[in-house]
Amino acid sequence: EYLQWLNTAGPISLHKDLCGKVVVLDFFTYCCINCLHLLPDLHTLERQYSDKDGLIIVGVHSAKFPNEKVLDNIKSAVLRYNIVHPVVNDADATLWHELEVSCWPTLVILGPRGNMLFSLVGEGHREKLFLFTSITLKFYKERGQIKDNNIGIKLYRDTLPPSPLLFPGKVTVDNSGERLVIADTGHHRILVTQKNGQILHTIGGPSSGRRDGRFSEAAFNSPQGIAIKNNIIYVADTENHLIRKIDLELEMVTTVAGIGIQGVDKEGGAKGEEQPISSPWDVVFGNSISGTQEGDVLWIAMAGTHQVWALMLEGGKLPKGSDLKKGVCLRFAGSGNEENRNNAYPHKAGFAQPSGISLASEEPWNCLFVADSESSTVRTISLKDGAVKHLVGGERDPLNLFAFGDVDGAGINAKLQHPLGVTWDKKRKLLYVADSYNHKIKVVDPKMKNCATLAGTGEASDVIGSSFAQSTFNEPGGLCVEENGRLMYVADTNNHQIKVLDLETKILSMLPILNPEACDVPDNLPVQKDKITNLPKLPKSAPVLQLPSLTVAPGQTIRFLLKLTLPPDSKLNEEAPNSWFITAEDNTWLLQGQCLSGEIKDVSCQIIIPFQLPRSCLSAEAILAVKACLYYCSKGSNACMMKGVSFSQPLQIASTNQGSLTQVELIHAFLTN
């Protein structure tokens, strides 16, 4: 009763409040993948029987890591995993010892007098859990020992304000550095944004589900790792136990691996969509040994089976392996036993819930870096021969998964606490680590095996300080560095933010998430007909100015610089709908996903209108029209004119790259009538 409770109106007493109830105690710790695998069973059970039927589920949080004893962190986990039953913080393991529990997860079933009936150790006992619960409820109901009173449930999630991101787990950046992909894990969706935070595509969410199809109908369940190449994104759809593929051009989501239920197979080898997998947590592109194509393998951190798997995106060979067909999904490293075991033979090595993965393809590294969360280590897997080696953290005994701490140092002397993310900085030849439960970003020099704090104080909070060292995070889960090595993006998971670290100026900022509503046409919808008809019509007298033809490439950005001058002694009528807009009569495909109009508030400065050509162009020639419509008044009279101008820009679309940005000046002076 003296313990801290969540999801309840107040503390609950086993002897008073739970008298006359069948109670399922779920002893869990929120970092543990086996504990997470149990939650869907408990969700189903509580949907089947309510407290009125006599069943109460209570989560008993007995922490493994010191960071997990903190109530605020447990609150975050309760939200993240959508736990809707009462949870008690058993920080000092009082209940754990009283009931002689020895491992996570353990379910203990109590009768209506608090008498212990059964216990189930580990995951995978769904049938027994349902059978024991239904028999127990029936038995005590028939004897009149079940009470139907309500327990005061008050969900923690109902007290929170909405936020644009909810527990973002991972973030990645495309090769150009212009687009970010964010796993908005708590909203069960993937966001693609510009580097200023402007949303380009929203895929899935806000509720969890499992559906392929168009962006508006697709559904994910707590997605984590993401990898982007050109216009294709692969997603570790963690709680659906799937790998999904997002095609940004077709605006479609498909499933490429997994069957939608948790797999127990630890070898694999079937075609992706027939191969069961278990809680994939991160993904990264890699290259097969014999392949001719860059990025023909998708490496997967398979947290649920403590392994690293590969999905063959093309036919090819893996290190020390035989030829594999396109689409095959199989284990590459890890025996499946949860341990911190390094070995020259990849199948004999052991991982403990690998949750982050990154690739350094260049010599002398040529390896995968793995954030092995439950052993609190970073490990390497050689892409020459598959050998698994220790880099930093943990200790030498492969069975000791409690060697954690927060110590800068080299190799085994360095200590981490449940790291969830790693990313390779090609430019500096350094590895960055999201040391999640220490609330820090660490930097590792793989040559010297040296590990040091780069950012964060170790305190879980949300401070944007004047330096990296004075700024704080809250369980950061993922991170990435852009190709040119300038910016690092961090998924600051429990702060519901993406933080931006400028590695050159050492300035830290927050990425604002800007909704597409700021634009007339949301980027993830085809151009809507009614939006086009709403655009103002120019007066017949409006001149059409022909511009010289411009040679451009698919995906290129044109920046139009609009400079308009009014007749002397006239001023803009600021109350009127002065605006610019873009049309393309016979080539509406050009307009998909563009911001097609904007207000003109002031003509004294030039107006910048960015326009990006689609990455797939439907014809080699097109004409774009940029139009402006102004209302202005002569200073001495009450008359107000409506004037317009149209600039006609012919485009020649070439396949070769013309450089990333072209500027076109649009200059016009309106004359007095």
Q: Which residues contact 134 (CB under 8 A, 6 or more apart)?
A: none
As to burial, measured by CB atoms within 10 angstroms (0-12 exposed, 13-18 middle, 19+ buried), residue 98 is exposed
Whether the CB-CB separation of 239 and 227 falls below 8 Å is answered with no
Residue in the block written with tokens 């800068």: 408
Stated as kind and residue range, the H or E segment containing 641 is strand 640-653
Closest CA to 647 of 624, 626, 671, 622: 626
* pLDDT for residue 540 is more than 80: no
- In this prediction, residue 90 carries a pLDDT of 92
* pLDDT for residue 131 is more than 90: yes
% of the chain with per-residue pLDDT over 70: 94
Mean pLDDT (whole number) for 301-324: 94
* pLDDT for residue 520 is more than 50: no
* pLDDT for residue 530 is more than 80: no
What's the distance, Cα to Cα, between the start and end of the chain in Å?
84
For residue 518, name the pLDDT band (cuts at 50, 70, 90).
Answer: very low
Q: What is the arrangement of strands in the sheet containing 189-194, beginning at the earlier edge strand? A: 170-173, 179-184, 189-194, 199-204
| Structure token pair of residue 384 | 């020459």
Q: CA distances (Å), 31 to each of 37, 280, 642, in order? A: 11, 15, 64
* pLDDT for residue 527 is more than 50: no
For residue 659, name the pLDDT band (cuts at 50, 70, 90).
Answer: low
Q: What is the pLDDT of residues 199-236, one digit of tens each?
A: 999 999 899 999 999 998 999 999 999 999 999 999 99
- In this prediction, residue 522 carries a pLDDT of 33
For residue 517, name the pLDDT band (cuts at 50, 70, 90).
Answer: very low
Q: What is the pLDDT of residues 493-506, one digit of tens each?
A: 999 999 999 999 88
Mean pLDDT (whole number) for 130-149: 94
Distance CA 185, CA 204 (A): 11
Whether the CB-CB separation of 644 and 535 falls below 8 Å is answered with no
Please give the mean pLDDT across all residues of the chain.
90
Q: What is the pLDDT of residues 256-293, one digit of tens each?
A: 999 999 999 999 999 999 999 999 999 999 999 876 77
* pLDDT for residue 546 is more than 90: yes
Q: What is the pLDDT of residues 475-498, one digit of tens each?
A: 999 999 999 999 999 999 999 999
For residue 516, name the pLDDT band (cuts at 50, 70, 90).
Answer: low
Determine the 3-state secondary structure of 304 from DSSP: helix
Mean pLDDT (whole number) for 310-328: 93
What does DSSP assign to residue 547?
Answer: P
Identify which has the larger pLDDT, 633 or 350.
350
- Residue 125: count of CB within 10 angstroms of its CB: 17
- In three state form, how does the secondary structure of 131-162 look? HHHHHHHHHHHHCCCCCCCCCCECCHHHHCCC
* pLDDT for residue 48 is more than 50: yes
- In this prediction, residue 660 carries a pLDDT of 64
- In this prediction, residue 460 carries a pLDDT of 94
Whether the CB-CB separation of 266 and 304 falls below 8 Å is answered with no
Q: CA distances (Å), 337 to each of 58, 162, 304, 405, 560, in order? A: 29, 40, 11, 23, 59
| 126-142 vs 33-48: helix crossing angle, rounded to 10 | 40
Stated as kind and residue range, the H or E segment containing 533 is helix 529-533
Identify which has the larger pLDDT, 284 or 36.
284
Q: Are strands 4-6 and 22-28 parallel, antiparallel or unpaired?
A: unpaired
For residue 663, name the pLDDT band (cuts at 50, 70, 90).
Answer: confident
% of the chain with per-residue pLDDT over 90: 65
Listed in sequence order, the DSSP H helices in 18-172 are 33-48, 71-80, 94-98, 126-142
* pLDDT for residue 120 is more than 90: yes
Mean pLDDT (whole number) for 374-380: 98
- In this prediction, residue 528 carries a pLDDT of 40
Q: What is the pLDDT of residues 60-83, one digit of tens each?
A: 999 888 888 889 899 989 988 889
Whether the CB-CB separation of 456 and 86 falls below 8 Å is answered with no
| Structure token pair of residue 441 | 């970003």
For residue 194, name the pLDDT band (cuts at 50, 70, 90).
Answer: very high
For residue 318, name the pLDDT band (cuts at 50, 70, 90).
Answer: very high
- In this prediction, residue 670 carries a pLDDT of 87
Q: What is the pLDDT of residues 423-442, one digit of tens each?
A: 999 999 999 999 999 999 99
- In this prediction, residue 529 carries a pLDDT of 39
- In this prediction, residue 157 carries a pLDDT of 80
Mean pLDDT (whole number) for 454-468: 91
